Homo-oligomer: A and B are copies of this chain.
Amino acid sequence: MSFISKNSALGALIQNNLNRLAADEQLSPDRMLNGLENGEMVLLGNPLHPNLRPVPVGQPGRVKVNANLGTSPGNNNLESELCKLKTALLSGADTVMDLSIAGNLNEIRKQIISTCPCPLGTVPIYAVAQRYIEQGEDPAGFQPEELLEEIRLQAEQGVDFMTLHCGITRANAAMAEEKNRRCMGIVSRGGSILARWMKRNNQGNPLLSHFEEILEICRAYNVTISMGDGMRPGAGADAGDAAQWDEMLVISGLISRARQAGVQCMVEGPGHVPLHLVPSQIHTAKTLTHGAPLYVLGPLTIDSSPGYDHIAGAIGAALAVQAGADFLCYLTPAEHLGLPGVEDVRQGVIASRIAAQAGETALRRPWALHREKAMNQARSALDWQGMKKAALDPAAVCERKQNLDADSPCDMCGGFCALKMTRDF
């Protein structure tokens, strides 16, 4: 029995969208179908998400960019998050995640789903934990059934993909403790709640012990599981340690089980990884997870650039794309310091798109080369309108160059324009 035939919601999505999506990706419909069948590609789309435009993620399609939104205790304002959503989409984000942890999370999520034409991801454990944290109670007090109910509720609401930290075990959580030579411990919010839960309850990860029930829910609504990287390194010095790879090994087995059950999966990657380790991290993760689409946060190549993590992250992301990463979660200039504002969202999305373009240009992907060629031709002809059109952010061209008349020199060079200097000879 084929993978797709096990998941009727996915089958319907494919039937209705395959030709258009394949054309967008510059792939043949057969090639895309093959990728979806063998799990190297997923099609994000919950049939209950109204007005959704499904998005394929994986090789050899276009690299996609995700923007994180969501309220926080320090900045709890739905209007502001909806404004960020609009900005993220205008800046070129392909998907968004609602990571809200303050306010009425259910209401916020419903509003975002109804406003958002692109796939929406969530981390269901946040909603469960928030009910405890807001009461001043220990978030590790929840019952596994509450978490399953939350996953089901969000699937029914139309959430398209969910970060579920299924690969965390008591063994790898212990490996991540600082006494075991990890520098930063656990830095994943969801991961840290589960690690706390396991200690408090002296039981294994509830997402793992209830994995079959989770698969049933996800298959029914074609929710793509994004296997959370609860043990991702939070410092470059921790990259590639035992905790990280032990979790990835668990995920490796879970991907096989999910595929047997007809459930689509992506894998979340690091994290904080120095430049020289980025390619091997991507290759190893891809190999262990049977080529499942890899969804990376950063990788952040240095830890010492708070205020500019979108740049340190773009360096790692470009290299990650070149090595095979499929999906970039943006980092904004606010990372590690606070909640991003609207302009931070724009900067974060564009930095990720720059990284994707750099990586895909290195991979000689036709859409990336096409954009580069269009820019080069326009630049060579001093065709400013053409440059604006080819730019990843056309607005930035207009902001800095008021006069877009053909053949006008830039303010930097004026009469020293090198192109004109040699053109007349």
Contact = CB atoms under 8 A, between A and B. Distances in A.
Number of chain A interface residues as a range: 35 or more
Interface in A357-375: 357-359, 361-363, 371-375
Contact of A191 (B129, B319, B418): B418
B192 A422 contact: yes
B75 A358 contact: no
Given A184-B380, A312-B354, A387 B306 contact: yes
A322 to B, nearest CB: 6
16 contacts: A73-B414, A73-B415, A101-B415, A101-B416, A187-B418, A193-B416, A275-B361, A302-B357, A302-B372, A305-B393, A307-B395, A311-B311, A311-B351, A315-B315, A337-B410, A338-B400
Interface in A375-398: 375-377, 379-380, 387, 390-393, 395-397
A254 interface: no
Contacts of A139: 421
Interface of A: 72-75, 101-102, 126, 129, 133, 139, 177-178, 183-189, 191-193, 195-196, 199-200, 234-237, 274-276, 301-308, 310-312, 314-315, 318-319, 322, 333-339, 350-351, 354-355, 357-359, 361-363, 371-377, 379-380, 387, 390-393, 395-397, 399-401, 410-419, 421-423, 425
Nearest to A70: B412
- Provide the main secondary structure of the chain A interface: helix
Contacts of A387: 306
Given A102-B414, A414-B74, A416-B126, A397 B302 contact: no
A193 B302 CA distance: 40
B421 A193 contact: yes
A237 B304 CA distance: 33
B334 A400 contact: yes
A418 B184 CA distance: 10
A397 B308 CA distance: 10
A115 B165 CA distance: 57
Given A133-B415, A337-B401, A307 B73 contact: no
Given A185-B380, A391-B307, A354 B302 contact: yes
Contact of A338 (B129, B391, B412, B425): B412
A391 B234 CA distance: 16
A411 B334 CA distance: 10
Contacts of A301: 318, 358, 361-362
B418 A306 contact: no
Contact of A379 (B184, B195, B354, B399): B184
A88 B359 CA distance: 30
A359 to B, nearest CB: 7
Given A371-B304, A411-B338, A419 B185 contact: yes
Nearest to A401: B337
A109 B164 CA distance: 61
A192 B418 contact: yes
7 A-B pairs with the lowest CB-CB distances in the bound complex, closest first: A307-B396, A74-B411, A73-B414, A192-B421, A338-B411, A192-B418, A275-B362
